[in-house]
Amino acid sequence: MNHSLSGGILSGLILLMSCMGVSANTDVYLRLGVGIGQYDASGDYPGRRGETGFSEADFAGLLGLGVRYQEQFTLEVSRLNLELLPFLDDVVYGVDGYATRFLAGYQHPLNDWAHLGVQAGVMHWSIGVKPSIGRSTQQFTGSDPYYGALLRLGSRRAGFLVGYDFSSFDGIDYKLGWLGLEVAFGGN
């Protein structure tokens, strides 16, 4: 996905948020999170020391901007840094990358302070795999479905999040367990 398409989608989300902003039932939220991401790749990808396939875990970070309507329905654009803290072995071998997520979600209220949510959408990703020292990094990109579940604890204005997300992109399964904070603006 090129930058003009990403910019167009982001502009569309901002326009949608501004149109919905007249409603008292609409909030704009900012989401920030960190977690552990796990890659599991098939034999089509280079692995350590000439092997094929790989399994790699890294810290990940996310930053998202979204809109919530009637405290239940959400639209979000977020950016994932798939390797927040490189490890020492990444000098020799490593997997790094980023992703942009475009998500729609539903959050079911369990009570006044807890919501259980699901989200789905598309993730545009780009990863680099460095098979071993002295070999150049191989780049892979694509766009694939993305799914997640989360528990939101807190008020309408601010909340603590616990989430689990999954995507399978071109032979690579990516799982992300994360913790986050959310702050909302607008509405009543």
Question: Domain residue spans in the chain?
Answer: 3-185
pLDDT at position 186 over 70: yes
Q: Which CATH number fits domain 3-185: 3.40.50.10260, 3.30.360.10, 2.102.10.10, 2.40.160.20?
A: 2.40.160.20
**Contact in structure between 147 and 167 (CB atoms under 8 Å):** yes
Report the C-alpha gap between 83 and 120 in whole angstroms. Answer: 22
Report the C-alpha gap between 71 and 65 in whole angstroms. Answer: 15
Q: What is the mean pLDDT of the chain?
A: 79
Report yes or no on whether pTM surpasses 0.85. Answer: no
pLDDT at 170: 72
